[in-house]
Amino acid sequence: SSAQIGVTGLAVMGRNLARNFARNGYTVAVHNRTAARTHALVEEFGHEGRFIAAETAKEFVAALERPRRLVIMVKAGEPTDAVIEEFAPLLEPGDMIIDGGNAHFADTRRRERELREKGIHFVGTGISGGEEGALNGPSIMPGGSKESYESLGPMLEKISAKAADGSPCVTHVGPDGAGHFVKMVHNGIEYADMQLIGEAYQLLHDVAGYSPAQIADIFRTWNTGRLDSYLIEITAEVLSHVDAATGKPFVDVVVDQAEQKGTGRWTVQIALDLGVPVSGIAEAVFARSLSGHAALREASRGLAGPKAKPMGESEAAAFADRVEQALYASKIVSYTQGFHEIAAGSEEYGWDIDLGAVASIWRGGCIIRAAFLDRIRAAYDARPDLPSLLSDETFGREIAEAQDDWREVLIAAVRNGVPTPGFAAALAYYDALRAERLPAALTQGQRDYFGAHTYRRTDREGSFHTLWGGDRSEVSA
C-alpha cells in the first residue's frame, strides 16, 4: 500500500484529476466501475507518473497509504451514494472520502454526518474548471473537517490553479457542506455572468447593428480592461468562429435554446429558502428556461413590438462604450447577490466562511476567473464585515460613474424591444437598495387590511393593526 491518493470514477474529470496528481509527483491509485477505463488510463498516460491500477474496491483500498485519501469523481446523486456504500465498509477511522462531484450541499451534509459516526472524514469538494482545469489546475473548494484539510490541503494546493500572484486557488471553505455550497453559488454567478454577456451581445447586434465578428473585436478590447476574464475571452472566440459547413458565423447556426444541468437552479432555490434576493442569477436561470420553450416562442413570434432604428457608426461606437458600463455595473450586482447568498448560508449553517478567501480562490482555474475577483478580495480584506459589495467604496464609485450609461442602455433596450432581464434586474436591485422609501409600506397596509397581519410604525415601537372594517382606529397588536 503506497498510493498517497486514490481516484475512483475515471470519466473526463476523474481521469484528468488523477493525471494532475500523478504529474505532481504523487502515487495515484485509480479505479472505475468499468475496469476498461482504468486500464485505458494507465496505458495511455502511465508514463506521466506513478499509477496503481485497481480492478476491485478491495484492491483499490489496499493500495492506499493510511490514513487513506479516496477521491470520488462519479455522477452526482445516487451513483455517489452507491460508491460510498461500496467503499465505506472497507475504510477505517481517520480515512478520508473526498467527493469532487457536483453534489447538492444538503446531500453532502447528510453524507458527512453519516460517515462522521464511523470516524470517516467526508470532504465534499467543489471543483471548477472543467476538463482542462482538472488536468492543469482547477479552483478547489473543499468542505469537511479542519483535520482532514490538514492532511489534504498541501496536496490540493499542489494540484490547484495558481492566481496571478502565485497563491493556490484552494482554501478550507468551512465544515460539512460549505465547499459544495460555495461551488453551487459559483455556478449561479457563472450563469449570471453568461446571461449578462449574452445581453451585451444582443444589444450590440440588434441595437448597434454590429456583426458577430465585430462584436468579437469589441469583447477583445473589453478583455484588456476591467472586464478581463475567461468568459469574455471565450465569448470573443465563439463569436469570431465561422461555421465550416455554411460559411456563416457559428453563433448564427446554433439553435438558440440554452440547456442547464441544475446548479444554477439550486442557487436560486436555496436563495429563496434563505430569503436572499438573487434576482440577477434567477433571471439568468429563467432566461435559459424561456429559451427552451420552443412552442411557446413560436406561438408568440407575431406579437407586436417596436421597430428598431438603425444606428450610425459613431452612435454605435458610443453605444458600445455604454454597454460596457452597463455590463460592468450589472456584474458588480450579480457578485453582490452571490456573496450575499454565501454569507447567508454561512450564517444559517454556522460555517464561518471567509468571503475574501472565496474571492481569492476564484481568481484562477474556474470558469468565472477574472481580474475583477482581485478587487472583491481587496474589498473584503479592507473590511471583512462589509454589509454588501455595493458598500465598498471602490465599487460604489465605479457604479456611480456607470449608472447614467447603465440607464441609457436599458432605455435603448426597452425602446428597441430587446430583452435584457439581467441588466434590468441588476439595476432594479441597485435602485431598490438605495431607495429612501419602498412600496413595502403599502404592501404591509394591504396585508393588514385583508389579513390583519399587523405592521410596525416608523415613529413608535411595537406591532399595530388598523380596524379597517370598523372605525379605522389603530390598536396595538
- Would you count residue 22 as binding ligand NDP (CB under 6 A)? no
**Least distance between ligand NDP and beta carbon 282 (Å):** 22
Binding residue for ligand NDP (CB under 6 A) from 41, 83, 115, 271? Answer: 83
**Contact with ligand NDP (CB under 6 A) among 82, 106, 317, 432:** 82
Reading the block at residue 446, the C-alpha cell is 394591504
User: Rounded to an integer, what distance in angstroms lies between the CA atom of residue 12 and that of residue 359?
Assistant: 27
Q: Which of 112, 190, 199, 283 is catalytic?
A: 190
Q: Which stretch binds ligand NDP (CB under 6 A): 52-60, 76-84, 203-211, 308-316?
A: 76-84
Smallest gap from Cβ 131 to ligand NDP, in A, equals: 6
> Whose Cβ is closer to ligand NDP: residue 40's or residue 378's?
40
Exactly one of 43, 117, 131, 183 is catalytic; name it: 183
- Per CB under 6 A, does 267 bind ligand NDP? no
Q: Which three cell numbers stand for residue 171?
A: 482554501
**CB-based contacts of 297-300 (< 8 A; 24+ apart in sequence):** none
Using CA atoms of 246, 250, 252, 257 in order, give the dihedral in degrees to the nearest 10. 120
Reading across the β-sheet that carries 121-128, which strands appear in turn? 50-53, 27-31, 5-8, 69-72, 96-99, 121-128, 139-142
Per CB under 6 A, contacts with ligand NDP among 96-125 are: 101-102
- Comparing CB distances to ligand NDP, the nearer of 74 and 426 is 74
In the set 4, 23, 37, 374, which binds ligand NDP (CB under 6 A)?
Answer: 37
Q: How far is the CB of 181 from ligand NDP (least distance, A)?
A: 15
Stretch that binds ligand NDP, among 9-17, 40-48, 194-202, 291-299 (CB under 6 A): 9-17
> Does residue 195 contact residue 284 with C-beta atoms inside 8 Å?
yes
Residue 83 Cβ vs ligand NDP, minimum distance, rounded to whole Å? 5
Residue 142 CA to residue 376 CA, distance in Å, equals 20
Contact between 11 and ligand NDP (CB under 6 A)?
A: yes
Does 12 sit near ligand NDP (CB under 6 A)? yes
Handedness of CA 104, 105, 107, 112 (dihedral sign): positive
Total residues binding ligand NDP (CB under 6 A): 22
Q: Is residue 373 a contact residue for ligand NDP (CB under 6 A)?
A: no
CB of 316 to ligand NDP, least distance (A): 37
How far apart CA 181 and CA 164 sit, in angstroms, is 25
* Number of neighbours of residue 74 by Cβ within 10 angstroms: 23
Cβ atoms within 10 Å of 321's Cβ, excluding its own: 11
Sequence-distant (≥ 6) Cβ neighbours of residue 3 within 8 angstroms? 26, 27, 28, 29, 52, 63, 64, 65
Provide, rounded to whole angstroms, the least separation between the CB of residue 22 and ligand NDP: 17
Residue 99: C-alpha distances to residues 11, 298, 386 (Å): 14, 43, 32
Q: What is the rounded distance in angstroms from the CA atom of residue 349 to the CA atom of residue 110?
A: 13
| Residue 464 near residue 476 (C-beta atoms within 8 A) | yes
Question: Could you tell me the three cell numbers for 389?
Answer: 459589495
Strands 96-99 and 27-31, by their bridges, are: unpaired
Going residue by residue from 128 to 157, which x/- string records binding to ligand NDP, judged by CB under 6 A?
Answer: --xx--------------------------
Does the annotation count 75 as an active-site position? no
Nearer to ligand NDP, 187 or 240 (CB): 187
From 126-134, 222-230, 305-313, 319-327, span contacting ligand NDP (CB under 6 A): 126-134
* Interacting span for ligand NDP (CB under 6 A) from 29-37, 156-164, 282-290, 358-366: 29-37
Q: Which residue of 58, 66, 75, 309 would you call a contact of ligand NDP, by CB under 6 A?
A: 75
Query: Nearest distance from residue 92's CB to ligand NDP, in Å?
Result: 22
Neighbours of 24 (CB within 10 A): 13
**What is the spatial distance between Cα 426 and Cα 435, in angstroms, rounded to a whole number?**
14
Q: Does the footprint of ligand NDP cover residue 163 (CB under 6 A)?
A: no
Q: Which H helix or E strand runs over 71?
A: strand 69-72
Whether residue 248 lies in the annotated active site: no
Among residues 61, 71, 73, 123, which is the contact residue for ligand NDP, using CB under 6 A? 73
Site for ligand NDP in 214-243 (CB under 6 A): none
Member of 74, 120, 163, 185 binding ligand NDP (CB under 6 A): 74
Residue in 377, 279, 373 with CA at minimum distance from that of residue 333:
279
The crossing angle, in degrees rounded to 10, of helices 178-206 and 263-274 is: 110
Nearer to ligand NDP, 101 or 168 (CB): 101
The catalytic residues are 183, 190
Residues of this chain that bind ligand NDP (CB under 6 A) = 9-14, 32-34, 37, 73-76, 79, 82-83, 101-102, 127, 130-131
